[in-house]
Amino acid sequence: MHETDSAVRPAVPRAGSTRSRRVKALRLQAELGIDSVGALKEQLTRVLDQPAKVVLDAGEVTRVHTAALQLFCLFCRDRRAEGREVEFARPSPALLAAAALLGASTLLQLAKAAP
């Protein structure tokens, strides 16, 4: 996973309103298997309290384990509960399919992010 520290625009135009023009982009790695959820959690933890909008670039995700999806769900739920924004950019078909099967599409607000 690559983390960009500077404020960058996400790869796709942002949908909806934002309170801040600043965004924090995280590029998700392709393989989100059970063996990588530890690292994924660390990465997400670093931006959990980030006031800027967090954009998770999921364009390269080819494989996703339920454990990774669970992290996304909890991350999105907790951030939104704090009134902070988070969204997915370029969700890959693998991620969309997994979220749909697990019933997490709504929570992750993938419908509006889908290309």
Binding site for other proteins (CB under 8 A): 34-35, 37-38, 40-41, 44-45, 48, 64-67, 69-71, 73-75, 77-78, 98, 100-104, 106-107
Pick 20 or 106: Cβ nearer other proteins: 106
Q: Which residues contact 65 (CB under 8 A, 6 or more apart)?
A: 32, 33, 34, 37
Least Å distance between CB 32 and other proteins?
A: 11
Q: Following CA atoms 102, 16, 10, 87 in sequence, which dihedral angle do they give, to the nearest 10 degrees? A: -30
Pick 21 or 68: Cβ nearer other proteins: 68
Q: Which amino acid is at 108?
A: L
